[in-house]
Structure 1
Amino acid sequence: MLPTSGERSPHPRVKIAVVGGGSTYTPELIDGFARLRDALPVAELVLIDPAAERLELIGALARRIFARQGHPGRITWTADLDAGLDGADAVLLQLRVGGQAARNQDETWPLECGCVGQETTGAGGLAKALRTVPVVLDIAERVRRRCPDAWIVDFTNPVGIVTRALLSHGHKAVGLCNVAIGFQRKFAKLLGVAPERVELEHIGLNHLTWERAVRVDGTDVLPTLLARHGDALADDVRMPRPLLDHLGVVPSYYLRYYYQHDAVVKELRTKPSRAAEVAAIERQLLDLYADPDLAEKPELLSRRGGAYYSEAAVALTSSLLGGGTAGDVQIVNTLNHGTLPFLPDDAVIEVPAAVDSRGASPLPLRPLAPLFAGLVANVTAYEHLALEAALKGGRDRVFSALLAHPLIGQIDYADRLADELIAHNREHLTWA
């Protein structure tokens, strides 16, 4: 179950470090830490980012949010990663290597080849992984040196590949996405029940998941949800209602890139990239953040994306630091370890898991039907090859990962996309 309030057993006040703290999204996190302080009593929250001007704006707003909500914790900020990490109990990663400019490229050049342009999926997602994995692993090594007992909570996309990189290098890490908590809140609203009564059977990989059951007080109400609210759910995930009825599940929004690839490519070619939209929103947000009278997250932030991340982040961090309760279950990205028997043990899956100070242990799951398992296995193979390319470099590895991806999979596409990816990301690839 995804917790929604501070119903946790007490634990010592902690220090949290947020790497990428200069993000315009950070006030959402700050608001969550302030509201849910009984769940996670933060003594110090340090924002770490090389973008000094943005960091100053957001750090000052963070202090005002804490003060407005009566939170006694101390907020600091620094561009010095090592200094910020010292003594941290948990490190939250929310960085974007290359910024929105690189994201804009990820979302545009694949379209020129007739493939989806998206920051976590397909060729754009591979580009982001290649830029991001080496940087995250460097940060994680510094975490190991400066605060060796700290847990790393990764929000950084592509979460599945980044989390797999961290775990394969022996780091204490769990990946987190907001898709599950978003569905939980939506289903609760449709059903007219409190969110904490809703438990999801959420299964798959990061950004490749299905809601296979929706339990309220232990009873699966997914058939009722589909029957009564199928049109609204189909609109939400932007897929046809008959598809949801056929599948008998609610797919995540990201499945439309697979189930309707060509239609999505046609659509994306007719409008500005999401990166361009986000960049415009960020400029407006920074203007708002500069107002010394602003002491709460602005409504505009809801258009930035990442709804409910703060609640999920607080719940997960609290559990990892020993503040959870027995049987605390959250939906996270962690090692497979036989949970889906058709995948390698070291694959990273996104499923309900028992979370405590030892980490996340996936709960046993019913077998996954071939209609879903085939796609999961295919994308897992791609993620393995993507991580190999991110760790070792080389055009041949990039080509192999692209060829293996179900949204690409053709020699001519993979060949051209490999050259485009390297050309657009050369400054971030040490081997190129």
Structure 2
Amino acid sequence: MKLTVVGGGSTYTPELIDGFARLRDTLPVRELVLVDPAADRLELVGGLARRIFARQGHDGRIVTTSDLDAAVDGADAVLLQLRVGGQAARQQDETWPLECGCVGQETTGAGGLAKALRTVPVVLDIAERVRRANPDAWIIDFTNPVGIVTRALLRAGHRAVGLCNVAIGLQRKFAGLLGVAPADVHLDHVGLNHLTWETAVRLGGPEGADVLPRLLAEHGDAIAADLRLPRPLLDRLGTVPSYYLRYYYAHDEVVGELRTKPSRAAEVAEMERQLLRMYGDPALDEKPALLAERGGAYYSEAAVDLAAALLGGAGSPYQVVNTYNRGTLPFLPDDAVIEVPAAVGGKVPAPLPVADVDPLYAGLMANVTAYEDLALDAALRGGRERVFRALLAHPLVGQYGYAEQLTDRLVAHNREHLAWA
């Protein structure tokens, strides 16, 4: 089996490599290709990747290259984890929206739109080259904003599925609190990428007993602290929202915080510098502890499990993925991309049935879905007016004055990545 990682020079990659090495019985990779235009980073990451495989006794071959077409040739699956513009672009995404009083964040709001505009054309070009090399290859997208990027891939007819680590992180968290194995915890996870709620936590499978009330009663303080939301709010909701909901439920509070501390992009950039120095140490043959602070926890387990299931291996039959709605949530269009548990062993992921969604959540999902539709239109066709319309539709913007200012700033900071600007 051949797998290709686009963006293989990322400091995330050793987390992925560690998962491939540990879980080789689930996903028997014979050739793993890391492709990245940044040759210096790729050399460091590739060297560590080979040492990790050797330490753990994995006899698979690791190849590094900057030649995308050679990298995807014959690949059974291609994982996308790229960042167009690098951490410098992320730093911009997290700062200029704050000048207008809006959240500065790399995957949602105005910053998330900027990232989508930079990313969608690049990803679609990569996907076309994958299709030419092997039309049966799966594309697994971990590139943010996952919902919009996956929607672009599916609309273009690619064999694609989106992946996020929020659900697996919560699964592991709840399993630890309950004292059970993660495989015994099934989440009723519903929403859009980075806009999700756990409406039930079931033991034993999709039909198991719901222990969410018990979790909230016994561990509500710890869960609320992780989400940085008030415990009484969780009690009133009776659900566990993803931590991204804090940008919506506490917008002004978050803006105030972000204005008074270094950006996450600045923190990550410094962390990456330290990690790359570590990766260059020929004695290092395991992922360093610092990598856990970089983000992407459990990404490797999620990616291995999903790839194995898609490719007919030993992956779990039900996994949380980003895929077409297809009537699962009746208040959204069929071609909306939703994030829900799905059966992933067939030709396309098949979302499991979802219980009626409270209007409190359904309304926000519908609003953000409309924004994502406009954002994808702007990414595919360009134009200042399309950018303005997407921003005006976003619930974290919503006022025409903000939308005008944000449009000007977005275009000014991203001209080199926007063919139409």
TM range (shorter): over 0.9
- CA distance, structure 2, for counterparts of residue 192 and residue 288 of structure 1: 35
1:191 counterpart = 2:178: yes
Per-residue deviation at 1:324?
A: 4.1
Task: Report the Cα offset of residue 221 of structure 1.
Answer: 0.4
| 1:401-412 correspondence to structure 2 within 5 Å | 401-412=390-401
- Name the CA distance, whole Å, in 2 between partners of 1:338 and 1:159: 20
TM-superposition CA deviations, 1:386-414 (whole Å, max 9, x none): 00000000000000000000010101000
Tell me the residue number matched to 1:19.
6
Contact 2:27 2:314 (8 Å CA) reproduced: no
Q: Give runs of aligned pairs for residues 3-402 of structure 1, distance below 5 A.
A: 14-217=1-204, 218-324=208-314, 328-402=317-391
* Cα deviation, residue 359, structure 1: 2.1
Report if the CA contact (8 A) 1:324-1:356 is conserved.
no
- CA–CA distance in 2 between the matches of 1:360 and 1:307? 23
Cα distance, 1:62 vs. partner?
0.4
Pairwise CA distance, 1:42: 0.2
Secondary structure of the corresponding residue to residue 246 of structure 2: helix
1:14-55 Cα shifts (integer Å, max 9, x gaps): 100000000011000000000000000000000000000110
In 2, the alpha carbon distance for the partners of 1:149 and 1:333 equals 19
Name the TM-score, length of structure 2 as normaliser.
0.99
Consecutive unaligned residues in structure 1, runs of 5 or more: 1-13
DSSP-derived class of the 1:42 partner: coil
Local SS of the residue matching 2:30: strand
Q: CA deviation at 1:147?
A: 1.8
| Aligned length, in residue pairs | 418
Please say if residues 139 and 161 of structure 2, whose CA atoms lie closer than 8 Å, have aligned partners that are also in contact: yes
Which deviates the most, 304-313 or 354-363? 354-363
Measure the CA separation in 2 of the matches of 1:158 and 1:59: 26
Contact 2:318 2:343 in 1 (8 A): yes
Deviating above 2 A after TM superposition, structure 1's stretches of 4 or more consecutive aligned residues are none
Secondary structure, aligned partner of 2:342:
strand
Counterpart residue type for residue 117 of structure 1: G
Q: Percent identity?
A: 78
Residue number in structure 2 paired with 1:9: none
Q: d(CA) in 2 for partners of 1:86 and 1:129?
A: 27
SS of residue in 1 equivalent to 2:349: strand
Which amino acid is 1:192 matched to? G
Unaligned 5+ runs, structure 2: none
Q: Is the 8 A contact 1:351 1:362 kept in 2?
A: yes
State the Cα deviation string for residues 240-295 of structure 1 (Å, max 9, x = none): 00100000000000000000000000000000000000000000000000000100
The CA RMSD over aligned residues, in Å, is 0.7
Tell me the residue number matched to 1:426.
415
Please say if residues 203 and 209 of structure 1, whose CA atoms lie closer than 8 Å, have aligned partners that are also in contact.
yes
1:70 is paired with a residue whose SS is: coil
Paired with 2:249 and 2:282, the residues of 1 have a C-alpha distance of 47
